[in-house]
Amino acid sequence: MNVFVVEDSAAMRQRLIAALEELPGVRVTGWSDRADNAIEAIRRLEPHFVVLDLQLVQGNGMSVLGALRALDRTPTVAILTNYTQPQYRRRCAELGADFFFDKSADLDDLLAACRAAVPEVTRR
C-alpha cells in the first residue's frame, strides 16, 4: 500500500516515515510540508493512504483535505495533528477525513489504522 505523508516538522516526518515503513505491505511514496506541493504530488502519485497534519509550512491541512475530496480516486486520509479541539475534529469530518489522531498521544492508533488498510488495498 502506498502512503503519502504531509507533515511540516522534519523530525516528526522522519519518525513517522520510519514507523510507517516498518509496517508490512506499506511503502511511503512521498512527502511534503506544503499544501500546494502535497496536493500536486498526491494527484500525481495516487497513494492509497495519506497522513495529513493541519499546520504546514505553507497553507494548511484543511485545504489539502478539501482538494483531495475532489479527486477521482480518493485516498484514505488520516489527520495527525496537535490541534485536537472539537471544532477541528468536526471540520475534518465534514471535509471527509477518515481518521483523526492526536499527534502527541495517538501514533500507535494511526499505525494500527494504516496496518488495517493494507489488506483492503490488496483486495482491490
Delineate the domains of the chain, giving CATH numbers in brackets: 2-123 (3.40.50.2300)
51-108 pLDDT, tens digit each? 999 999 999 999 999 999 888 889 999 999 999 999 999 999 999 999 999 999 999 9
**Cell 497513494 -> residue:** 47
Q: Which of 12-16, 74-78, 112-116, 120-124 has the lowest mean pLDDT?
A: 120-124
- The Cα–Cα gap between 110 and 81 comes to 11
Determine how β-strand 99-102 pairs with β-strand 27-32.
unpaired
On whether the CB atoms of residues 31 and 4 are closer than 8 A, the answer is: yes
pLDDT (0 to 100) of residue 123: 46
On whether the CB atoms of residues 82 and 71 are closer than 8 A, the answer is: no
Single pTM value for the model: 0.94
